[in-house]
């Protein structure tokens, strides 16, 4: 975690190795600030990125506040990365029942910084999209009833505004929610689908059809990479094989809670599967770099923290918490013995220490 923060702050105002990525994104922000269309016919002077426009809007807002440059765009990614860490901590601590689980999830995701191409703070859409997806899952689980489903659907739509890949975990979550709570599932689908359809039609009409070409048609034309189709599972996932194995082992040993308030906690495995599948789809296409692994790394960090903490708290291992509980119990017993001694002295008129109950009990224990 400390190394991750040091890497981020060391390069936040300097030219990074992947400076061409930030430069290309700046070339999308500057015309937008000048009042030009974001999605226009490709030319030698300007070609838009094949992503939805939220990150460009946030980058433009940051550029107005801090001036045009690398710092403005990287601040958006840095804040999004910090939001991902905070959300992973909250969910890990809540499901695991201790701050230990939250720190475990946070640290495991931060440790994947290099495995994801050092992309957490690069001026690209990935951290923003992932932060919004995690926020949607957080709201869905914490807000009961139809309100949580409605807000989660809107947050998934906002995540789609950062990157189209958000639709994959949204589909998994929507199906799982519909299976558990049909009315909430319908509200979730409406909150996601209606703004998605309306914004697509409006943006397509505003850009003379180029929005649909950039956001949907261009990406659909990317070919599949046969090496990465299997390489994702045999190479990229294997890096986190110890964490995945620890998850399975803890799953077998951990108790299964059956509380009514844990109803929506059953959606979490589907959300994690959606994040992994979203990473695989992006990775398995031509041009998929290490940054596409960020959703799967967040899922691989989340699940072990949840299960391992339950195993940790279920008594399957000896912990410092258990030892401290025993120490507190011993201290309470000592205080009760001293109180008994005080009452005995008051009744007997300061008897000798040999008659004090705690001393007699201590001597009996030593004799035994």
Q: Among 268, 295, 313, identify where a domain stops.
A: 313
Residues 146 and 266 occupy one common structural domain: yes
Reported as a single tens digit per residue, the pLDDT across 150-184 is 999 999 999 999 999 999 999 999 999 999 899 99
Residues 340 and 256 occupy one common structural domain: no
The whole-number average pLDDT for the span 222-249 is 77
The whole-number average pLDDT for the span 38-62 is 90
How far apart are the two ends of the chain, measured CA to CA in Å?
52
Domain that includes residue 355, residue range? 320-367
Residues 194 and 164 occupy one common structural domain: yes
Listed in sequence order, the residues at least 6 apart from 144 whose beta carbon sits closer than 8 Å to its beta carbon are 264
Query: Higher pLDDT residue, 366 or 99?
Result: 99
For residues 30 and 89, the answer to whether their CB atoms sit within 8 Å is no
**Among 50-54, 209-213, 266-270, 329-333, where is mean pLDDT lowest?**
329-333
- The model's confidence at residue 7, banded by pLDDT at 50, 70 and 90, is low
Reported as a single tens digit per residue, the pLDDT across 115-157 is 888 888 888 899 999 999 999 999 998 887 899 999 999 999 9
What is the structure's pLDDT at 222? Answer: 83
Reported as a single tens digit per residue, the pLDDT across 88-109 is 999 888 877 778 888 888 888 9
Alpha-carbon span 43 to 53, nearest angstrom? 19
Answer yes or no: is pLDDT of 9 > 80: no
For residues 13 and 75, the answer to whether their CB atoms sit within 8 Å is no
Nearest to 298, CA basis, from 192, 169, 177: 169
Report how far Cα 84 is from the mean position of its chain's Cα atoms: 5
- The model's confidence at residue 80, banded by pLDDT at 50, 70 and 90, is very high
For residues 55 and 125, the answer to whether their CB atoms sit within 8 Å is yes
Residue positions counted in the chain: 368
What is the structure's pLDDT at 152? Answer: 95
For residues 73 and 123, the answer to whether their CB atoms sit within 8 Å is yes
Residues 281 and 328 occupy one common structural domain: no
Residues 295 and 340 occupy one common structural domain: no
Residues 146 and 240 occupy one common structural domain: yes
Q: Among 313, 333, 358, identify where a domain stops.
A: 313
Give the count of domains, the chain: 2
């Amino acid at each position: 975690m400390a190394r991750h923060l040091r890497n981020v702050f060391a390069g936040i105002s300097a030219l990074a190795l992947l400076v061409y990525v930030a430069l290309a994104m700046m070339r999308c922000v500057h015309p937008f600030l000048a009042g030009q269309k974001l999605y226009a016919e490709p030319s030698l002077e300007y070609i838009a990125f094949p992503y939805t426009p939220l990150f460009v809007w946030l980058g433009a807002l940051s550029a107005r506040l801090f001036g045009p440059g690398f710092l403005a765009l990287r601040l958006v990614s840095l804040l999004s990365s910090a939001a991902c860490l905070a959300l992973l901590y909250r969910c890990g601590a809540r499901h695991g029942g201790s701050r230990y689980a939250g720190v475990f999830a946070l640290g495991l995701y931060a440790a994947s910084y290099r495995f994801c191409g050092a992309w957490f703070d690069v001026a690209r859409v990935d951290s923003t999209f992932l932060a919004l997806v995690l926020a949607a899952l957080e709201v869905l689980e914490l807000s009961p009833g139809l309100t949580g489903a409605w807000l989660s659907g809107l947050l998934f739509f906002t995540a789609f505004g950062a990157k189209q890949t958000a639709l994959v975990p949204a589909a998994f979550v929507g199906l799982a929610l519909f299976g558990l709570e049909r009315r909430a599932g319908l509200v979730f689908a409406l909150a996601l689908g209606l703004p998605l359809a309306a914004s697509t039609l409006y943006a397509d009409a505003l850009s003379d059809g180029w929005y649909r070409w950039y956001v949907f048609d261009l990406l659909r034309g990317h070919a599949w990479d046969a090496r990465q189709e299997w390489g994702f599972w045999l190479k990229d996932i294997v890096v986190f094989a110890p964490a995945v194995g620890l998850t399975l082992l803890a799953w077998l040993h951990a108790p299964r809670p059956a509380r009514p308030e844990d109803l929506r906690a059953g959606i979490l495995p589907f959300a994690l599967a959606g994040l992994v599948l979203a990473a695989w789809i992006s990775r398995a296409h031509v041009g998929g770099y290490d940054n596409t692994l960020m959703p799967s790394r967040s899922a691989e960090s989340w699940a072990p923290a949840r299960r391992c903490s339950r195993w940790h708290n279920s008594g399957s291992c000896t912990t410092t918490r258990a030892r401290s509980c025993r120490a507190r119990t011993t201290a309470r017993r000592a205080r009760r013995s001293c109180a008994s001694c005080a009452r005995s002295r008051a009744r007997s008129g300061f008897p000798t220490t040999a008659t004090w109950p705690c001393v007699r009990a201590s001597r009996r224990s030593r004799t035994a």
